[in-house]
Structure 1
Amino acid sequence: MAGQVCFPPLVIRDDSLKCFVKIGAGGFGQIYRAKHMKWGMDVAIKLLIYKDGSTSSIHKEANLMFQGGNPNVIRIFGLYEGRVGELQLPLQSGLVMELMPKGSVAGLLQTLAAPPPWPLAFRMAHQIGLGMNFLHHLTPPLLHLDLKPNNVLLNDSLDAKITDFGLSRVAQSVSKCARERDEDEGGTLSYMPPEALQSINYKASKASDVYSYGVLLWSIITGKEPYDGAVSSLVRFRIPLGDRPDVTLIDCGQTEGLEDLVNLMKRCWDQDANKRPTFLNCVNATEKIFELHQRGLSDAVWDVLKQLEGDICSSLKSVQISRKPQNEVRPPVLSCVTGSLPKQETAAGYTNTVKKEPSPRPDALTPPRTTQRQTSTPGGFYINMSNVVGVQFGNNNSMNIVQKPRQRHRTAPSRVNTSENAQKKP
């Protein structure tokens, strides 16, 4: 492109990263979290699956994904080449991106089991439109071709950012992938335009992304997955015939501006691609709707963040605490330890009692603080503690708390009479 200077993307390797943790997987590969030692920050690494086994296509197409920047498009720091901390794995390639700690819109809808509060829902709709409008106005335009709730990520403030844009060209065709793996890619199939399902000679366009955006709006408004439970082959057959997600689930009288958003949604998924609006038209409409609810945004975000934090502790409801019968025979336990045992010191003023080998010195003093060693035990585990509150996560688990008689330390006096001591003082 004349007048534009393209710099080669930065290549980031394992010698700059540590603490690899797998956090998810998508249609294009696995996703890891790692810490960049020189930058001092956590990043996300998306490994890419490609059929030719080479990295040439990634290097060639990655330049399209580094043009400019937009607050509603995921930021890409560079290319990744490495083994994600495992020397026995083959060399792999991918992208190093900013980490989005609150997951995806799909995960949010699943956690809430309902649509987000209206101010947040309308902001999501607007931010997604802004991000897509930016991608479509690059030179050349960058099509997404797989826009869906899983590919919209959320930061700590629940701002929406688009990810996986352009990866269909880097890795493999989304439409072809969906045809090969209908059962695995049912979600992607639900967001594909009818023209992509009608002909193998389908040529993607901006209108393809607009259709997916319309279905995505329906998911945000209803909090549901389109065609949930339907057989993928039936979905493939019915969408080209004009079937769309159920609009009767939406009560437009619930809040101001919702009817306008529903009308925009219907225009976006029009059967005729030429009648669908551009993303600039979408942004102009969603901006006006969002402004009606902007005052309630802070409270809406705060409410959802509290629900997300509460979801972490939701498994506490399944914890059962019972006293262990005295005559119970404890089954043999096989400890399965991988790598070095993690250590966790107890808080000041508390003591953890753990199983120890007999001390070679009977008169050895017990240290005031001990270290709890954790092991992974198939089939369950036992924890004995004193003066602590124990919490166990998981389903169908139980915690046995054994009350043991208090024992006087051998160096302590047999009896303490505070009244006599007070009389002896001058």
Structure 2
Amino acid sequence: MDGGEMRFRVSVVRDDCLDRFLRVGSGGFGQIFRARHTLWGTDVAVKLLHYKEGSASSAQREAELMFDAGNSNVVRVLGVYEGRLGDPQRPLQCGLVLEFLARGSLEDLLQRLAAPPPCALALRMALQVSLGMNFLHQLTPPILHLDLKPSNVLLSDSLDAKITDFGLSRVAENVCKYTGVNDEDEGGTLSYMPPEALQSSSYKPSKAFDVYSYGILLWSIITGKEPYSGVQSSLVRFRIPLGDRPDLASVDCSETEGLDELLKLMMQCWDQEPHRRPSFLDCVHAITAIYTMHARRLNDDVHDVLEQLQDDEICSSLRSVQISRKPHREVDPQDLSCVTGPAPQQETAAAYTETVQKECSPRAAPPVGAIRKTQRQTSNPAVQVSMSNVFGVQIGNNNSMNITQKPRQRHRTAPSAVNTHSSHPQNPPQKHQ
């Protein structure tokens, strides 16, 4: 500090080095954009903040605090953003520049799987979140998250978990201007808030606040569900201080080794009394012991989930594709054909029907502790694909695709054809005597 001027280590990022702004989400603190940093040669996330005029320095001080949180299990803060999203007509806005994680959040993953993640992957996520939170709590001064939930846990390409939005509660105190939240948003936040925070408006947050939220987060990972789903926020606010917690009836501890110990830790984390909750260091030790029992299956679990996510992405792009069986001997010699090899071995238990519509409902992930069993059968390599507005699609290797040009067909909603011979002005209709 020189002459009373504060020097910041966090750089200010402006529009002159950002390109390709794309809105990817929003939250209570503002909108989130994906952008390309032309000098760094990488994509970044720009989190805009609802802020009062003249508060950019406050955001920079908070970014400086978050910049100190350099850990592999927390999202890195790369700088402070000041700009107009590349549009001179927009007002000047302030925000944070963060590393961009393309896999989205844990909340997104749970929704896409419609089930809990496989055992080893679920335990690794739980361990990584506890490691990240323990790091934040061990800083001097400690950083309290105060909004730990699945949407604030982001995933890398290999599904490693990283905590985001830590410290933004302090940013909100200084620079955020709330315009109000609806009951749904409030209910989502209330689900992860401890009872003591709901009982008094003068409550002063502590580390135990985050530990309680972590206990609810563990429940979401184990069950793949959102706590108190469909319950009004006013009832959630009323019942949590009375001791209500997410339902454990659907969790079968006999299916997975160590799951009973994980449930015990989870209930300790959401204990009614803050002083009885464990520290995050205690959580790290407990989950490490459980994760070690299943770590050998991690690569298979990650591969299975990534494969399912890829299948869902392919499926969503082929919703209108018609697939029908067609033996080789029926292929017209004039058809365009591309044969890449013998019939492949595919993991499936279904046979071809004469004409089928490709279904795109997401596959349910196996329950925690389930052992994968696969049936293999040989698929017919000759498949006819009828498409519209595309040249061709090939999925997988070692298969053949026959592409046939067909005449255009009139859509059922189009008007009937016009008789050009009877209506053309040069050929008036003949009158018959």
Q: Same fold (TM over 0.5)?
A: yes
RMSD: 2.6
Total equivalences in the alignment: 331
What percent of counterpart residues are identical? 61
Match of 1:47 in 2: 48
Contact kept in structure 2, 1:23 and 1:31, CA below 8 Å: yes
- The Cα of 1:91 is off from its aligned counterpart by 0.7
Match of 1:389 in 2: 392
Contact kept in structure 2, 1:34 and 1:42, CA below 8 Å: yes
Amino acid at match of 2:201: I
- The Cα of 1:54 is off from its aligned counterpart by 2.5
Contact kept in structure 1, 2:51 and 2:94, CA below 8 Å: no
Change (3 A) 1:219 1:178: farther
Match of 2:275 in 1: 274
Match of 2:158 in 1: 157
For residues 37-116 of structure 1, what are the structure 2 equivalents within 5 Å? Answer: 37-51=38-52, 54-116=55-117
Query: 3-state DSSP class of the match of 1:23?
Result: strand
Contact kept in structure 2, 1:50 and 1:172, CA below 8 Å: no
Tell me the alpha carbon deviations over residues 296-338 of structure 1, each in whole angstroms, 9 at most, x when there is no partner.
000000000011111112335641669xxxxxxxxxxxxxxxx
Residue 122 (structure 1) aligned with residue 96 (structure 2): no
Query: 3-state DSSP class of the match of 1:184?
Result: helix
Distance 1:6 1:293 in 2: 48
- The Cα of 1:60 is off from its aligned counterpart by 2.3
- The Cα of 1:253 is off from its aligned counterpart by 1.0
Distance 2:56 2:205 in 1: 24
For residues 17-416 of structure 1, what are the structure 2 equivalents within 5 Å? Answer: 17-51=18-52, 54-172=55-173, 181-316=182-317, 318-319=319-320, 388-389=391-392, 403=407
Amino acid at match of 1:78: G
Change (3 A) 1:272 1:36: same
Amino acid at match of 2:97: V
Amino acid at match of 2:250: L
Distance 1:236 1:178 in 2: 21
For structure 2, the residue ranges without an aligned partner over 5 or more in a row are 1-5, 324-336, 338-386, 395-404, 410-433
- The Cα of 1:251 is off from its aligned counterpart by 0.7
Query: 3-state DSSP class of the match of 2:162?
Result: strand
Query: 3-state DSSP class of the match of 2:185?
Result: coil
- The Cα of 1:177 is off from its aligned counterpart by 7.0
Amino acid at match of 2:285: N
Change (3 A) 1:384 1:150: closer
Change (3 A) 1:76 1:213: same
Contact kept in structure 2, 1:178 and 1:185, CA below 8 Å: no
Change (3 A) 1:81 1:316: closer
Amino acid at match of 1:305: L
Query: 3-state DSSP class of the match of 1:295?
Result: helix
Distance 2:406 2:173 in 1: 58
Contact kept in structure 2, 1:82 and 1:91, CA below 8 Å: yes
Distance 2:60 2:131 in 1: 27
- Runs of at least 4 residues off by over 4 Å: 176-181, 382-385
Distance 1:390 1:123 in 2: 37
Distance 2:104 2:270 in 1: 26
Distance 2:21 2:150 in 1: 25
Change (3 A) 1:320 1:169: same
Change (3 A) 1:108 1:124: same
Match of 1:373 in 2: none
Distance 1:54 1:383 in 2: 53
Contact kept in structure 2, 1:79 and 1:93, CA below 8 Å: yes
Contact kept in structure 2, 1:135 and 1:143, CA below 8 Å: yes
Amino acid at match of 2:266: M
- The Cα of 1:151 is off from its aligned counterpart by 0.1
Distance 1:138 1:6 in 2: 21
Tell me the alpha carbon deviations over residues 261-314 of structure 1, each in whole angstroms, 9 at most, x when there is no partner.
110000000000010000000001011111111110000000000111111123
Match of 1:15 in 2: 16
Distance 1:179 1:287 in 2: 41
Change (3 A) 1:172 1:186: farther
Amino acid at match of 2:294: H
Change (3 A) 1:404 1:213: closer
Query: 3-state DSSP class of the match of 1:248?
Result: coil
Amino acid at match of 2:23: K
Contact kept in structure 1, 2:63 and 2:77, CA below 8 Å: no
Distance 1:61 1:316 in 2: 42
Contact kept in structure 2, 1:121 and 1:220, CA below 8 Å: yes
For structure 1, the residue ranges without an aligned partner over 5 or more in a row are 323-348, 350-381, 392-400, 406-426
Distance 1:305 1:321 in 2: 25
Contact kept in structure 1, 2:69 and 2:136, CA below 8 Å: no
Change (3 A) 1:179 1:111: same
Change (3 A) 1:91 1:402: farther
Match of 1:369 in 2: none
- The Cα of 1:8 is off from its aligned counterpart by 3.0
